[in-house]
């Protein structure tokens, strides 16, 4: 079984500042890791994912996350945030050996201030 802990429920930050949203997971098997983003009044959409290969994965809008197996973490970072990044971000994990169930964290609300 897998579990996910997002360490911050809310992260306020000023525009153009860097941000890190923290995610830790636990699993007895190897995993796939995901970050999803939910903009106001919308469904979740995939931001980035780690399946295998390079441990650093990037999104098209400047976010990146690094899979750290020893620390069982998959923190999300952006060097300079924009007002439009205001949203809720969900970390998720899925075992990669058969199975399908994706476990979602409780979410981190990122609020970017002008």
Partner 1 sequence: DADVTQTPRNRITKTGKRIMLECSQTKGHDRMYWYRQDPGLGLQLIYYSFDVKDINKGEISDGYSVSRQAQAKFSLSLESAIPNQTALYFCATSTRAADTQYFGPGTRLTVL
CB 29 to partner 1: min, Å:
15
Nearest of 82, 58, 47, 6 to residue 67 by alpha carbon: 58
Q: Say which residues have a Cβ less than 8 Å from residue 95's Cβ, sequence separation at least 6.
A: 2, 27, 29, 30, 31, 32, 101
Signed CA dihedral, 37, 99, 50, 76: sign only: positive
51 binds partner 1 (CB under 8 A): yes
Q: Which is nearer to partner 1, 32 or 111 (CB)?
A: 32
Q: Which of residues 54-93 bind partner 1 (CB under 8 A)?
A: 90
For residues 3 to 22, the per-residue mask of contacts with partner 1, x marking binding by CB under 8 A and - elsewhere, is -x----x-------------
Chain residues that interact with partner 1, rule: CB under 8 A: 4, 9, 32, 34, 36, 41-46, 49, 51, 90, 94, 100-102, 104-107
């Amino acid at each position: 079984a897998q579990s996910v802990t997002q360490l911050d429920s809310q992260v306020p930050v000023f525009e153009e500042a860097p941000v890190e949203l923290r995610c830790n997971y636990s699993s007895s098997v190897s995993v796939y890791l995901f970050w999803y983003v939910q903009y106001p009044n919308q469904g979740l959409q995939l931001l980035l994912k780690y399946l295998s290969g390079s441990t650093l994965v990037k999104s098209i809008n400047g976010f990146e996350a690094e899979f750290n197996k020893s620390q069982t973490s998959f923190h999300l970072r952006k060097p300079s945030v924009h007002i439009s990044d205001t949203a809720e971000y969900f970390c998720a994990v899925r075992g990669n050996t058969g199975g399908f169930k994706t476990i979602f964290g409780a979410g981190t609300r990122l609020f970017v201030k002008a």
